[in-house]
Amino acid sequence: MSKKNQTLGEFIIENQEDFAYSSGELSRLINSIRLAAKVVNHEVNKAGLVDIIGAHGETNIQGEDQQKLDVYANDTFIKTLTNREIVCGIASEENDDFITIEGHNKDHKNKYVVLMDPLDGSSNIDVNVSVGTIFSVYRRVTPVGTPVTKEDFLQPGNKQVAAGYIIYGTSTMLVYTTGNGVNGFTLNPALGSWYLSHPQMKFPETGTIYSINEGNYIHFPQGVKDYIKYCQEEKPEGPYTSRYIGSMVSDIHRNMIKGGIFIYPKSSQNSSGKLRLLYECNPMAFIVEQAGGKASDGFDRILDLKPTELHQRVPFFCGSTKMVEKAEEFMTAKDR
């Protein structure tokens, strides 16, 4: 069978070496995520048809309005993973605290914790623009057989054993890594199967797309302002293009295919930026590095940061290696 016709199920079976230390637990975890993703995809696709869009009337811990689909996606991923009892804990952007999963015999025997942003870019739902899900998997650091603690979730990103995202776009894709490159699978909605459509994805070393919310320009650090000016200057390789969807998964997915940089910097209004280290930046940084790209906070590697709290935010510079390095030069010159 040609690799292109391979389904995700077949891919997992044929690449068991990627799951070498997991005795089937990690493969079952990815299988559960692909199932939950199909359920969420079905709901996202009919968002315009049913009265499910719009603010839910609650606010999450960051004080932001939750959309109904945020809640739905959160519940779906949590229930799917909890019912199958294949993880020992879950932390979600939509929950104040982590969830402990005891297991059927209350023996806390599972090894992995999952951290997730169940619906990324949710403000795009009611205008029919792509949204996503981001997930991150770590091996617990506390002993198996005991309840998980915060320590299991506050691990640096370089300890991730798997990470991925789902993009609910014109096609729905699941892109993930277990630390052995990045593979992308496209959902055939008629069959409900994920097909390997993007084997061994590679982030172009450089590109001409820059993605940043320039509406916040006056609040940006000087290094970011200088980098934006640099992007707008004439260059031998041709002009740069500004593209910003406002849904990080979609912005980074496009840049990974075409070459580009995504920046969400700190600002005079927000000293740590907006994006969450554990639910958004670490998993995307792992994927991007595995595809040959680079991710930093403008100075230091995202994956080496030691988290101190679950909902911690961090400035994020991510994309084609040469472009991130160039942005870091401007940051170091003015903001170090």
96: annotated binding-site residue? Answer: no
Dihedral angle, C-alpha 143, 144, 149, 155, nearest 10 °: 70
Does the annotation list 274 as a binding residue? yes
Residue pair 193/187 in contact by the 8 Å Cβ criterion: yes
Indicate whether 314 belongs to the interface with ligand FBP (CB under 6 A): no
Q: How far is the CB of 154 from ligand FBP (least distance, A)?
A: 20
Q: Quick one: 111 or 266, whose CB is closer to ligand FBP?
A: 266
User: According to DSSP H, which parts of 46-132 are helical?
Assistant: 68-83
Q: Which residue, 117 or 152, has its beta carbon nearer to Mg ion?
A: 117
Which listed option, ligand FBP, Mg ion, none, makes contact with residue 213 (CB within 5 to 8 Å by class)? ligand FBP
The terminus-to-terminus CA distance of the chain in angstroms comes to 53
Among 47, 87, 92, 120, binds ligand FBP (CB under 6 A): 120
**Within 13 Å of residue 13, how many CA atoms lie on the same side as its CB?**
5
Residue 213 in contact with ligand FBP, rule: CB under 6 A: yes
106 is in an annotated binding site: no
Binding partner of 246, given Mg ion, ligand FBP, none, CB within 5-8 angstroms per partner class: ligand FBP
Tell me the C-alpha distance between 179 and 286, whole Å. Answer: 8
Judge whether 63 is annotated as a binding position.
no
The amino acid at 89: G
94 near ligand FBP, judged by CB under 6 A: no
CB of 61 or CB of 333, closer to ligand FBP: 61
Q: Which of 134, 129, 165 is nearest to 48 (CA)?
A: 129
Q: Which is nearer to Mg ion, 6 or 124 (CB)?
A: 124
Binding site for Mg ion (CB under 5 A): 93, 117, 119-120
Interatomic CA distance for residues 249 and 118, integer angstroms: 12
Q: Does position 265 bind ligand FBP by CB under 6 A? A: no
Question: For residue 143, which phi and psi values (nearest 5 degrees)?
Answer: -65, 140
Min separation Cβ 282 and ligand FBP, Å:
14
122 part of the interface to ligand FBP, by CB under 6 A: yes
Specify the residue, 88 or 174, whose C-beta has the smaller distance to ligand FBP. 174
Classify burial at 50, counting beta carbons within 10 Å of its beta carbon; exposed 0-12, middle 13-18, buried 19 or more. Answer: exposed
Q: What is the DSSP string of 155-195?
A: --GGGEEEEEEEEESSSEEEEEESSS-EEEEEEETTTTEEE
- To the question of whether residue 226 is assigned a binding role by annotation, the answer is no
Smallest distance from ligand FBP to CB 117, Å: 5
Which phi and psi angles does 40 have, rounded to 5°? Answer: -65, -40
274 forms part of the interface with ligand FBP (CB under 6 A): yes
Q: How far is CA 2 from the centre of its chain?
A: 29
Question: Which C-beta is closer to Mg ion: that of 95 or that of 142?
Answer: 95
Rounded to the nearest whole angstrom, what is the least distance from the CB of residue 223 to ligand FBP in the complex? 19
Least distance (Å) between residue 279 CB and Mg ion:
7
Q: Which of 79, 246, 299, 304 binds ligand FBP (CB under 6 A)?
A: 246
Cβ proximity to ligand FBP, 27 vs 247, nearer residue = 247
97 is in an annotated binding site: no
Is 82 in contact with 104 (CB distance < 8 Å)? Answer: no
By three-state DSSP, how is residue 326 classified?
helix
Give 117's strand partners: 134
123 carries a ligand binding annotation: yes
Write out the binding residues for Mg(2+). 93, 117, 119-120, 280
Residue ranges binding ligand FBP (CB under 6 A): 93, 117, 120-122, 213, 246-248, 264, 274
Write out the binding residues for substrate. 120-123, 213, 244, 274
